[in-house]
Chain A
C-alpha cells in the first residue's frame, strides 16, 4: 500500500514540477513529424532512385529503380511498389510492400513470391532506405541534445539530436540517432542501431532541391556501420505526383503492372 502511495505522490510531483518533460517529448515528436514531411512528398508520388555502391572508394555496382508510394489510410505509413529498371538482368522485376506484406515479382517466372522484411532488397540499402516511410509513426522520439555536426556537404550545421526508439518489433532498426536542423526541419544525419546498440549504418541526407512543393533531400550517403569502406550513394530524381490506385498494391496485379 505504501509503495502505491509513494508512486502516486511521485506522479503528482512529476506532473506539477516537471511539465516540460511531456512537452519536450511532444516537441521531439513534432520535429520528427515535420522532418518526415520534408523527406516525403504529400500524397501519392513516384521517384526514380539510383543506387551506386562503393568499396574502398571504388564504384562496384549500381542499380536504378522507380518507387511508387501511396499513403496507407489505416496505418499512416506508405505502401510502396518498386520497379527495377537497371541493370538489364533485373529489369522489370517488382517489389510490393503493403505494410508487412512483401512480394517480389519476377517477369521471367511470371510469379509473385512472398518474402520476409529481413530479405534485403539491394545489398546494403534496405527496403526501408529505398521505400517511403514515416518515422514518426514507428518511433518514439526523445530530444537528447543540440549539436553542431558536419552535414552531407561537409559544412558545420546546428542541429537537434533525437533518440528514436522503435514502437514495434517489426521495423528494420530498433534504435536511431537522428539529427535535424531545427530552423527548417531538414534531416541532416542518422545513425541506425540494433537493439543491443550495435551501429548498423550512418546516413547523411543532402542536396536539398525544390521537389513537389518543398525543399527535399535528393541524395543520401549510406555508410556501413562495421565496414566504413562500404558506401552506398542513393540519388533521387524525377519526382512526380501521381495516382497510385489501390488495385496496383496487391500481388495478383503485379503481372499487369506497366507503370503507366
Chain B
C-alpha cells in the first residue's frame, strides 16, 4: 500500500518535472561559492535585539537589550611545527538607560608539534563530555560562562572562557593521552568585574590538573577516561561512553564521581564531603528525514535533594529568598545543576524540510522534582553564503515556587543578523 502511494507521488512529481522540462544533466553552477578560494578570516558580526517578558520589575534585568558583537576566531600556522590561536568576543550592549562594552578573551595560545606529540600553552577552551544538556566531566566549565542571549547548552559551551594551562598530548594508533597543568595566575574574582579585563581569576584562581585518555576501541563503542584534581578540592574521576546501537540510534553515558559536599538546605550547615556521582545518560535517534531527537536523564549527586529543594521552596517570599538567589547564581556560574534530577529533551533538524538554508532546534529541560520547565526554540535561516538570520524564543514555566517558575524572566525572544567573514 505504501509502495503504491510512493509510486503515485513519484508519478505526479515526475509529471511535474516533465512539465518543467529542466534536464538535470544540463545544470551548471552559477559561480564558485564565496570563500572557496580564500581562507576565511574567522570574523562574525552579530546584531541582536532581545526582548524579555518579566514576571516582576527588576533593577538588574532590563526589558530589552540591543547588542553589536564582533566575534573572532582564528588559528595561524607558523612554520611547520607552530600554531597560534586567538578567540575573542567584543560586545556593545544597550539597555534602557544604560550601555556597556564587554570583552571576552576566550582563547589565546601557542601550540608546538613534536612528531606525534603536541604541547600547548595559553588560555585554551578544553571541553569534555558527550552529554547533550549536562556535562559532569566538563571539569573546566566552572566560572567560564559568558552572559549571552541564549540558554542553549551548546551555545553556552561555545561562548565561554578558556582556562590557562600547559598541556601535552601524545597520539598513537592506540589512542590519545592528554595531561594539563593549570596554574593559579590570579586571586579569587573581585565582586565587581572589569568587563573588558581577561578575567583570569574566573578560571585560574587555584592550581589544578586534568588527565584524559581516549583509547581507540572499535567502531561501535568509544570511551574517554578522565581524572581531575584542584587545590582545596577532592579529586574527581570520570568516563564518557558512546555506543552506536544501530545506523540511526546512538546511546551515551557521561559519569563523574568523587568526594564533594552536598548543597545544604536553608539554615542548614554544609554537610561533610562524601562520595557523589553525577551522570548524564541518553539516546539520540535520527529519523529518515534527518530529525535528531535526544532524550537525556541528568543526575547530580551534590545538588539539592528533593527534601532540601522543598525546604528552599518554602523560603521563597521570606528573607531567606536572597540566600536562595545567591545559591542559584553560584550554580549558574558554575554551570552546575541546582537540583539532583532533571530531564532534557532536544529536537534538531538541520536542512529542515530539505532546505539547506533552514536549521531548526528546540529543547526543554524539566526539573524532575517540581516539574518546572525551561524551553527554547531556535530557527536559523541562511540568507546567503555569508549571512544568516536567527530567531530564538524561550521561556521559564512552572508554579511560582518552582525552579523555573520563580525566575524574574518569564519569556525571552531575540532576532539576530549574522555576517561571516
Contacts and interface: CB of A to CB of B under 8 A. Distances in A.
Partners in one complex: yes
Interface of A: 50, 52-54, 56-57, 59-64, 85-89, 91-92, 98-101, 106-111, 113-120, 122-124, 152-154, 169-170, 196-199, 204, 206, 221, 223, 225-231, 233, 235, 246-247, 250-253, 256, 258, 260
A59 B32 CA distance: 12
A251 B240 CA distance: 13
A43 to B, nearest CB: 18
Contacts of B40: 88, 91-92
A250 B29 contact: no
B20 A57 contact: yes
Given A114-B222, A228-B13, A89 B388 contact: yes
Given A57-B22, A110-B125, 9 more contacts: A54-B27, A101-B222, A101-B244, A108-B73, A111-B157, A114-B244, A123-B354, A227-B354, A252-B176
B167 to A, nearest CB: 11
Contact of B33 (A54, A56, A64, A197): A64
A109 B248 CA distance: 24
Which range contains the number of B residues in contact with the other chain?
A: 35 or more
Interface in B344-383: 351, 354-357, 382
A57 B27 contact: yes
Interface stretch (B58-66, B212-220, B231-239): B212-220
B219 A56 contact: no
Contacts of B75: 107
Contacts of B125: 110
Contacts of A113: 130
Contacts of A229: 13, 16-17, 20, 22
B248 A62 contact: no
Interface stretch (B190-198, B286-294, B314-322, B332-340): B286-294
B247 interface: yes
Nearest to B218: A101
Contacts of A169: 247
A226 B158 contact: no
A118 B169 CA distance: 32
Contact of A118 (B111, B113, B247, B382): B247
Nearest to A252: B176
Nearest to B125: A110
